[in-house]
Every structure is written in C-alpha cells, then in structure tokens.
Structure 1
Amino acid sequence: MKKPPIIWLNLMLFLLTFTGAAVLIPWRAWTHGIDAIEWLTFVVLAFYSGMSITAGYHRLWSHKAYKANGAVRWLYALGGALALQNSALHWSSDHRVHHKHVDDNDKDPYSANMGFWYSHIGWMLREYQAHRYHDYNNVRDLQNDPIVMWQHKHYLALVLVMNIGLPALLGWFNGDVWTMLLVAGLLRLVVVHHCTFFINSLAHIWGTQPYTDRNTARDNGVLAVLTYGEGYHNFHHIFENDYRNGIRWWHYDPTKWLIKLLSWLGMASDLRKVPQERIEAAKLQMQLKLTQQRITHRQDYEELWQTLQGEYETLKQQLLEFYQVKKELLEAKRHKLCLEELRPRFNELKSRLKLQQANWNSLNAAYR
C-alpha cells in the first residue's frame, strides 16, 4: 500500500528543532554557560505556551468547558503561536474529530491504535488525512470568534514574533540574545512539543481506566505533571466538557487551577462540571465490569454475579438518592429555607451510603 506524501515542512521543523536542541544546548552550556534568568525564562515560557494549549486550545476552544474574556483569549492566541502547534481553529478541528472518532484508524487523526510513534508525532509527518487542512465545518462556532480568526489569519507572523522576536528581546534585556534564543526559544519549543504530544500518545497507552474502557484513554498522575494536568485522560474522554481533568484537590492539574483563578478574577465564567453522581456511577459501573471479568472462570460464577449485580444496583440507587438530597439541601441553604427535615434525611443517607460502599469495596477486593 502506497504511503501518503510526506509533509516536508513539518518533518524539517521537528527534525531541525530536536537536533538543534540536542546539539546546541549542551555546546552552549559547556562553552558559555546558562544563567538562572535564562532557565527561569525557559520555565515561564514553557508554562505559558503549554497552558495556552491546554487551557486555551483544548478546554476553552475545543470543548467549550468555560468562557473567557477577550484579554484571556488574546493571551491564549499568542501563547498558542509560541507553542507552534498550528492555529487554534485547526487544532480544535482536529481535536473534535479525535473525540468523535477516538481510536478509529480511518477517522481519528491521531489514533492510538496505530502505535506510539504515529499518535505521538507520525500523524503530522504525512498527509494521512489531507482534508484536515481545509475542512473546518466542525468549528463554525470558533469562526465567529474574532480572536481565533485573527490568529488563524496571521499565524505565521505570530509564530515568528513569539518564537524568535520575544526570546531575542528578553535576551537583549538580559545581555545575551543567543543563549536566550537557544534556551527559552529552541529548547523550550522542543520540550513543550513533546510534553503536549504525550497527551495523544502515552496518555492512551500508560495508566489506568477507572471510568471507562470504551476507548484507549488512561489516567496517569505522572503524565499529568508532564502535560500541565492533562494526564487524567480517561476521565477527560468520558466527561470531555468538564473544565477539570484532575477532579480531586490533590490531583496535579495547573490548567484547572488557572481556569479557577481566572474565574475568581472575573476573567472566566460558566465553568462546567460534571455532576458528582455521574462520575461515581461511571466508576461503579467500571468496577462491576472488572470484577465480572475476574470471576468468569469460577464454577460459582452465576451465584457470584447475581450477588454483585444486587450490590451494584443497591449502591447505585443509594448514590442517586444521596446526591439528590444533597442538591436539595444546598438549594435550601442558598435560599435560607428550613433545613430541619432535610438534614436528618441527608445524614441517614450518608451513613447508609458509607456502609454500602464499604460492603461493595470488600466484595470487589475479595475477587482481585
């Protein structure tokens, strides 16, 4: 089967930037040295460009997980050009296709089923789906955003200004243009490229699937550190419109923290969150499925399966009742209504749910 034509511009970009960073950074460090300001600038610009992709391209524009004012969107547009991962319009179009057709080798632009190399970078090196560069029907909403269209129209000029002009200017202020260009420009670009590329590759290969196994996406706390919080990818692929990826307070998700901070400052609004009962229900269903797979070989499978199903239905019903009463209690507090009837009911359901969850966990642990 004839391979699609090579996209020479992309191939040369990735080859020259990676080789240049691998050769020139050690040489510069050995012959000239790299000071603390240059490393600090590297870190700041890495987070700025990387989180412009995760908070801007991904959660804002691709998934509409929240709204942001013009100043924030403008900063994302500049940071996206600094990240050099195509325009927000094109990136979002690709990403929406990915979610719609995840793991479909013919339709998913970076299907993980094609292997690590393909999903990490190979899909950008050949014209596997040439129409991607012309068909933006799935991002018509973004075509009404003047900042998105301004960036798309002037993308090449913005790339040059942000990746060469900005580091050169900062280097001039610091007294060393060339070292700043190499560290905060070249090395930063390569590191951000491959860290964000891990979302398409490693985050579909390495980790756990606590919410769904209907696609290859995985949750991985280590990858979250490398991808600005995007490592909780199994959660994201089942609840893609949630502004969070890491839903627990201890989950490393700086993108989530940035969005929340912007909302406190009045610069972001309408932060979307999946109801907790839906999250718990997904986890519960996945636990049931995994335990069923473990007991299929047992002679008493039918009896065990009936027990599991009974416990599952009981726990699921108690979850729904608990969160319904919790919502009613919060609503009553918000409107300063009488809570005398709701509080005892809430506490009773909470105790019953805790006991039922303990029974469920014990039952599942027995068959691991």
Structure 2
Amino acid sequence: MDSQQPKQPKVLWLNVIVFTVTFAVAAIGTPLWAWHHGFDLAQFIMLGVAFTFTGMSITAGYHRLWSHKAYEANSVLKVIFALGGAFAIQNSILHWASDHRIHHRHVDDNDVDPYSANRGFWYSHIGWMLRDYQRNRYADYTNCRDLQKDKIVMWQHKYYLPLVLLTNFGIPLVFGVLHGDIWGALILIGFTRLVLNHHTTFFINSLAHIWGKQPYTNKNSARDNGFLALLTFGEGYHNFHHIFENDYRNGIHWWQFDPTKWLIKAGSWVGLTTKLRITPEERIEKAKATMLLTRLKTRLSVSDENQRRIQLIQFEYDALLARMTDYYAMKKRFFDLKKRRLLKKYERADLLNQLQKMKSELQQQRKTWYSLAASYSY
C-alpha cells in the first residue's frame, strides 16, 4: 500500500520573486556597478543611515514596542517606526507582531510556531515565507486586539503597499537625484540595503536559535550571541529575551551592544518614550543560577561521589537563593519607604546598615556558589 505524502502548501510566488530579485541585484548588480562606476563615501553613509533606520524601526518599533509592549512611545516616534518598517518590507506592524507573539507563545512547536527553528535553518530563516504555511491565520488577528486600537498601526496596515513603494523607491530616488547618481542609489540604498536588512533580521529567527549560549534557560532553543547583536542592533541576546520578553533591553550589561536599548532609553530623557519595563534583578540572577545548577546536575554522573557533589551544589544554591530573596526584599522595602518619605533619619541609617550587611552576605555567598560551580565545570 503506497503511503501518501502530505500536500505541500502552495508557493507564494510574490515573496519568491521579491527575495530572488532583490538578492540577485544585491549580489550581482552591486559588485558590477562598483567595478564599472564605483560608489563614493556619501553613498556608503546613506546606506548606513538607511540600514540603521529600517533595522531599528523593526527592533525598537515592530519588536520591542508593538510586539512586546516593553515601553510606550509618543505618536511622532510611532509614525517614524511605521515608515521605517514599511521601508524594511517585513510586512505590516499588525502582521509582524501577530507572527511574533505566536512564536513566543509556542516557540519550537513545529505545528504552531511560524518560524520554528526545529524545522531547520532554511525554514526558520526564510523558507516559512516562501510557502503558504500560515493559511487562515490572519483572519482577525485575535492575538493583537490591543494593536487594532492603535490608529498608527491600523493606518500603516491599511496603506502598507503604498508606503512600501513610496519609501523603497522614493527615498533612494530623492537621494540619487540630489547626489547625481540615480542608478547607484537604487542599487545600493534600495536593493542592497533591503537584502542586508532582511537577512540580518532573519538571523534572529534562525542563527539565534542554533548558535550561541543559554545562560538563562534551556526550555527553548533561543541563544545569546554577541556577534549577532552587532548585526541586529542588540537583538542577538536572544536567550535573555525569550525568558524576559517584556524587558525593553536585550543586552542588560553596560558592555553588551544594544543600540536599540540606548535609543529607547535616550527617548525617555526627551519624552519620546515612557514606561520602560525592566525585569527585576532578582529574577535575572535567579534564572542564571538555576540554569547553571541544571547544567551542573546534567554534567555530573550518578556515582556515589558525584551524588555528594550534587548535594553540596544544591545546598550552596539554596543558600544563594535565600540570600537573594532576603537582600532584594530589604532593598525593595528600603526604596519604597524612601520614596514615600516614611523614613526618619535614624531609621534610614539603620536600614542602610542592614542592607549593606545583607549585600555583603549575598556577595560572599555568590562568590562561594560560582567558585564551587567553576570547580565542577570540567
């Protein structure tokens, strides 16, 4: 009896043509034009400006603002991001956010996650957009009811195609006319910029789920990758993002490259952004310690000697969590009372002394825990 192969979804020829033509022009046309005519510094600067504008419209706008509600923005900034998103040709805000929310809710589920990394690099990178895998998914955008109340989101959704044409041809043409090289502008600022923007963004769906470290969770395939952060305006810290998705930051340390975070923070200084959401320190530190504990338990064998080691690791881990809980609870209490101006001078000094003592105890326990963990990380 012959087994019947499941029918493949129909090919989305418009998407295939757009991705193929733009890539061909960027990969073949750009080097040829550079060889015969050349590009100057002004054109490369404009390429960088356009790439940054489109890229950060996706990261700060489509992703952290609209998909995750990690902060709020005023109308001027929203319009800028909406135009930049159309310039990036990654579908409308409503469509993009709907896909992304499903991805987070059902990450790595091959039947539901729109770009599940478990289906392979090609599928998660671009293949999911070349066939009609998402048929009937977007009938009413039920997971984006909040965005349907946003007039700017719905304006961009309604006029998405005209905005795509206006930005992708209008911006390079205007620059080309002013600069005196229309074809060079169309090739570099139009096609090449678009291909760079597409594939660096797509790397977060593909490479960021197969290449990198998992310091916070191994419950999904997302990984932290500093190199990808350089290409994607900070989106490469994907393991952190998948466990703390509503944090406006992806790179939480000062040394981590996250210009999207810097843009959002700078916007708060001039009133363009408000209500920036930050994950409490305690949750981040606990997640990291718990992930390390899980990794150590998996690595150690089940011999009697290692069972004793696991018990010691567990004991120090429990002590660390207890110190964390006490310290962060006291810290929250202190700042709450200080904010409400309920502390007298002597009470403030007493609480500060307690807080400092608890901080020292936490630092010592943290040192003990990580030193012990390092000794078993062979």
TM-score norm. by structure 2 comes to 0.95
| Equivalence for 1:93 | 98
**Correspondences of 1:23-34 after superposition (within 5 Å):** 23-34=28-39
- Consecutive unaligned residues of structure 1, counting only runs of 5 or more, are none
| Equivalence for 1:168 | 173
User: Are 1:129 and 2:128 matched, yes or no?
Assistant: no
**Correspondences of 1:302-341 after superposition (within 5 Å):** 302-335=307-340, 337=343, 338=345, 339-341=348-350
User: Are 1:269 and 2:269 matched, yes or no?
Assistant: no
Question: Which residue type is aligned with residue 177 of structure 1?
Answer: I
Return the match for 1:357 from 360, 366, 374: 366
Return the match for 1:138 from 135, 143, 157: 143
Give distance in 2, aligned partners of 1:39 and 1:135: 42
User: Are 1:4 and 2:13 matched, yes or no?
Assistant: no
2:205 partner SS: coil
Contact in 2 for aligned 1:94/1:132 (Cα 8 Å)? no
Return the match for 1:84 from 66, 70, 89: 89
- Provide Cα deviations, 1:194-238, integer angstroms capped at 9, x if missing partner: 000001000101000011000000001111001110000000000
User: Are 1:36 and 2:41 matched, yes or no?
Assistant: yes
Question: Which residue type is aligned with residue 203 of structure 2?
Answer: F
Identity %: 56
Question: Which residue type is aligned with residue 334 of structure 2?
Answer: L
User: Are 1:222 and 2:227 matched, yes or no?
Assistant: yes
Question: Which residue type is aligned with residue 248 of structure 2?
Answer: Y
Question: Which residue type is aligned with residue 362 of structure 2?
Answer: L
1:317 partner SS: helix
| Equivalence for 2:3 | none
2:254 partner SS: coil
Give distance in 2, aligned partners of 1:212 and 1:182: 42
Over 4 Å off, 4+ runs: none
1:132 partner SS: coil
Give distance in 1, aligned partners of 2:155 and 2:284: 38
2:62 partner SS: helix
2:292 partner SS: helix
User: Are 1:49 and 2:49 matched, yes or no?
Assistant: no
1:131 partner SS: coil
Give distance in 2, aligned partners of 1:58 and 1:207: 21
1:231 partner SS: coil
TM-superposed CA distance for 1:361, in Å, is 1.0
2:349 partner SS: coil
Give distance in 2, aligned partners of 1:190 and 1:133: 26
**Correspondences of 1:231-246 after superposition (within 5 Å):** 231-246=236-251
2:148 partner SS: helix
| Equivalence for 1:62 | 67
| Equivalence for 1:280 | 285
- Provide Cα deviations, 1:59-84, integer angstroms capped at 9, x if missing partner: 00000000000000000000000000
TM-score norm. by structure 1 comes to 0.98
Give distance in 2, aligned partners of 1:133 and 1:20: 31
Residues 178-187 or 334-343, more deviating: 334-343
Give distance in 2, aligned partners of 1:328 and 1:77: 41
User: Are 1:21 and 2:34 matched, yes or no?
Assistant: no
Give distance in 2, aligned partners of 1:321 and 1:344: 14
| Equivalence for 2:125 | 120
Give distance in 2, aligned partners of 1:325 and 1:300: 38
TM-superposed CA distance for 1:306, in Å, is 1.8
TM-superposed CA distance for 1:330, in Å, is 2.8
What is the root-mean-square deviation in Å for CA atoms of aligned residues?
1.1
Give distance in 1, aligned partners of 2:119 and 2:205: 11
Give distance in 1, aligned partners of 2:29 and 2:323: 61
| Equivalence for 1:201 | 206
Give distance in 2, aligned partners of 1:296 and 1:93: 44
Question: Which residue type is aligned with residue 105 of structure 1?
Answer: N
- Provide Cα deviations, 1:160-212, integer angstroms capped at 9, x if missing partner: 01000111011111111111111111100000000000010001010000110
- Consecutive unaligned residues of structure 2, counting only runs of 5 or more, are 1-5
TM-superposed CA distance for 1:289, in Å, is 0.4
Return the match for 1:251 from 221, 246, 256: 256
